[in-house]
Chain A
Amino acid sequence: MYPVMKNASRWNGYLFCGLLVVMMVYSIPQLVTFASTEEETLSLYLDGQLSRKFEQRFDGDLPFKTKSISFWSDIRYVLFNEGESGVVVGRDDWLYSNEELLIPNKLDEVLSGHLAKIKSINDELKLAGRDLIIVPVPLKAAIYPEHLKRPLDARLSGLYQKFLDDLKNSNIKAVPLDLTFNDYKAKNKSGAPLYLARDTHWSPAGANLAAQAVAQMFPDLVEGKRYQSATHDTTDYQGDLTNFVLAGNWLAGSIRAPEVVPVYETVPIVDENSPDALFGDVEQSIDLVGTSYSEIEAWNFRGFLQQSLARDVTSFSLKEKGPFVSMSEYMESELSASDSASVIWEFPVRVLLMPDERVESWQEALKNQF
């Protein structure tokens, strides 16, 4: 005798049939509507795409889908004060990406792997007669650990310096932003934060400080074209990490609130009295390769860099691809043949924590089949 259900009240059957009837009345019109709007159905049907398409629409239109998402997010937020996978909820309505806090078991091996790739990129650029300057963007959690609920792991707080040391030992130029950022934080207790509380990225203040640090560290890069950055307005910026907190507003209202970000614009200053104003020397541009820290206009990193270096900056930055893909695509692009003697590489340090290769298990591959 197996330990299984042996009997059940008939009410279970009645209730289940009632549920099925209600859902069938709801579902049939969905099927009819879909069938009447689709074209090329046979070819789509034969390779299984039609059924997937209908299934996706059916799932998306379920009347209780939104309520269900909120329900599970509310439970998650109330019981564990956490959002969806990918975010770490901190104190004072601060959010952090979990990518900054996940330490790989073989950290040293992972770091060596990344460093080897950086070295090879540096060598390749050197062969082309160009200088690589890395601008490592510190972990938000390392600059603002006070908003984390748990103390920051020592390996993470020491990661930036270790990376700088490794770069130095490999004769690769780098801008030590952590010192600049920490110094700013110490001197400007009530100043604008360098990172947005609920976004992965730095704020315009952080981007500006980083640009100034590049100019201070490498004064040779500074030329004579004058730029001015000014802010005339602010915008409500919805931080990317708030997308991971799906709990209802009544629970997580303040943590989902947009942040006020000043809108900067950088323009060249044209001195009309100068003899060079119209037919002056053409300034040489410098190439900036980066990630979303450079690509998103709200941070104005390129503009601040133009202002600090007093020269044009040509940006080759890609969102959501990471610094290595950006650099590899840059090196394959026409831009890599530009005259820029130096290449500034904005490099988020959190990337160093990601193992080079992620194994796709058969369980994940199976999921992708459906």
Chain B
Amino acid sequence: MIFTSNIFLFLYLPLYLACYYLARPQWRSAIIVAGSYLFYAWWRPDFLFLFVAVTYWNYFFGDLINKHRDSDKKKAFRILCVGVSGNLAALGYFKYANFGADVLGAALESFGLNTFTLEHIILPLGISFYIFQAISYIVDIYRKEAEKANNFIDFAAFVALFPQLIAGPILHYRDVDKQLKKRNHSWDLFSLGVCRFMLGFIKKVLIADSLAPISEQFLSNPDVQMADAWFGSAVSLIQLYFDFSGYSDMAIGLGMMMGFKFTENFNQPFLAKSLSEFWRRWHLTLANFLMHYVYRPLVRTVKLSPDVALFCTMILSGIWHGASVSFVCFGLSFAILMVLERRFNLVTSPSSPYNAIRNIITVIFLLMIMPFFTTGSLSHSLAIYRGMSGLDGVGSLNAYVIGTSSMAMMFVACSVIWLVIAGWINVRFARTKGAYLMQNVAGWQAVLLWLGFALAVSKLAANSFSPFLYFQF
């Protein structure tokens, strides 16, 4: 099920919240599990079996590791390796088997050997997210950074929690275990959750979905000229931001409606002054996961140099996003540029002073990297780079106006204005309380939010829903 669908908003959510709040507090975890399984099974009930199996696998291994981690550290480590390998095997089969078969087939073909075909394997929704989340549980137990779950229902509720099930934010068990046992429910938190949900809904339906036709027009035709290529790339990036950050806002808002406080996933990424800083502002929970479970172990345990570890981490990040050479290049491009930033002392942090020139340069680099991500195809990306370089002519934006609409172009302008205003307020008032336009949603801010929500609901009713882009991963 998708948050931005009529069925979710007008049937599932009211029924779920009614059941949740009418149930006794000790039953609420069970309601979360049942509701989340129903939510997940709405897409393909058969994949629910895999989901439950992964949940049970990790619960079982968590228990085992917990039993041995004090008495026999080596055995606990071996159990951890088996547990993590099982998770990675599931992820590898469902996400990378097709890609592996293609690569192997092509390699064999180049040697003139008979090639083979693998039946297309469907990618289960959200597998990259819930596998990572499950891995974090058993690793944290091994490292003694988290206690094992009280019971299977609590653990299943952690893995399945529907607001973040399909596209994050990626939670760590240690961050929510106390909330699973006890959390406060109040009208204040519920209302804040409602506002956060509505904001995300507006971002996705009103902005991201309105930019989608331009992005599709851009991505459906590899032969682009300079203006079209840069503009298309920029719109695709903005669409991706509004789509994914909108999803994260909705997830965080829904969590608040149930008394949870999730980790933030975005922090004004287009204000980044370096690519290293960008990853401290974009998809923060993935970046934290990679930092915590990949980069640091590579540096501290495997004793790789920080630069090599960064290369490995960023390439893994690329592969996590998608099984293709293009996503590897996506990770590799970031790795090269981030290592260069380290070498030339250009790494910045979100708290360092704003520098417009470095911000603009960072955004230009982002636009140059994004075709690897948005196309998912190396040859298509190279065609776009050719277009960006101007080798195929200067171009005009006519194709977008005639091929999509002036209204879509107006939404591009609205999204840019949104980003500029939000960025300006953040930079201008960073050290004061008012660094966000809707810090306290009351009065005119509430009216504005509800007006936007009403427009978004009517747009959803008019056009029906479209899935979130990160469902792909």
Report which A residues bind B (CB closer than 8 A): 1-16, 20-21, 23-24, 26-28, 30-31, 45-48, 51, 54-55, 58-59, 62, 64-65, 67-69, 71-72, 75-76, 79-80, 82, 84-85, 88, 98, 101-106, 109, 355, 358-364, 366-367, 369-370
Contact = CB atoms under 8 A, between A and B. Distances in A.
Contacts of A6: 192, 436, 439-440
Interface residues of B, number: 87
Contacts of B110: none
A98 B213 CA distance: 14
14 contacts: A8-B195, A8-B446, A9-B441, A11-B446, A20-B13, A54-B7, A58-B7, A62-B10, A62-B461, A64-B458, A80-B407, A82-B405, A105-B387, A363-B219
Q: Which 4 interchain pairs have the tightest Cβ spacing?
A: A13-B191, A24-B14, A23-B10, A20-B14
B7 A5 contact: no
Interface stretch (B40-48, B87-95, B135-143): B40-48
A205 B380 CA distance: 45
A71 B407 CA distance: 14
A87 to B, nearest CB: 10
Interface of B: 2, 5-7, 9-11, 13-15, 17-18, 42-46, 187-188, 190-192, 194-196, 198-199, 212-213, 215-216, 219-225, 228, 264, 267-268, 322, 374-377, 380, 387, 392-393, 395, 398-399, 402-407, 410, 422, 425-426, 435-436, 438-443, 446, 449-450, 458-459, 461-467, 469, 471-472
A29 B48 CA distance: 27
A22 B232 CA distance: 41
B219 A5 contact: no
A85 B471 CA distance: 26
Given A3-B435, A7-B441, A106-B392, A364 B459 contact: no
B2 A7 contact: no
Contacts of B425: 3
B44 A47 contact: yes
A247 to B, nearest CB: 12
Given A104-B221, A105-B392, A361-B220, A10 B188 contact: yes
A139 to B, nearest CB: 14
B213 A9 contact: no
A5 B402 contact: no
B221 A8 contact: no
Contact of A58 (B6, B404, B472): B6
B472 A5 contact: no
Contact of B223 (A2, A106, A361): A106
B231 to A, nearest CB: 13
Given A27-B11, A82-B407, A105-B228, A13 B190 contact: yes
Nearest to B469: A363
Contact of B192 (A7, A76, A358): A7
B413 to A, nearest CB: 12
B461 A48 contact: no
Given A8-B188, A45-B45, 10 more contacts: A8-B446, A9-B191, A11-B442, A24-B14, A59-B5, A71-B462, A359-B380, A361-B219, A362-B376, A370-B467
A3 B446 CA distance: 17
Contact of B219 (A26, A64, A71, A359): A359
B403 A98 contact: yes
A88 B398 CA distance: 12
Contacts of B192: 5-8
Contacts of B472: 362-363, 366
Contacts of B220: 358-361, 364
B221 A105 contact: yes
A289 to B, nearest CB: 28
B212 A24 contact: no
A242 B234 CA distance: 33
A85 B404 contact: yes
Contacts of A68: 458-459, 461-462
Contacts of B191: 8-14, 16
Contact of A3 (B213, B267, B374): B267
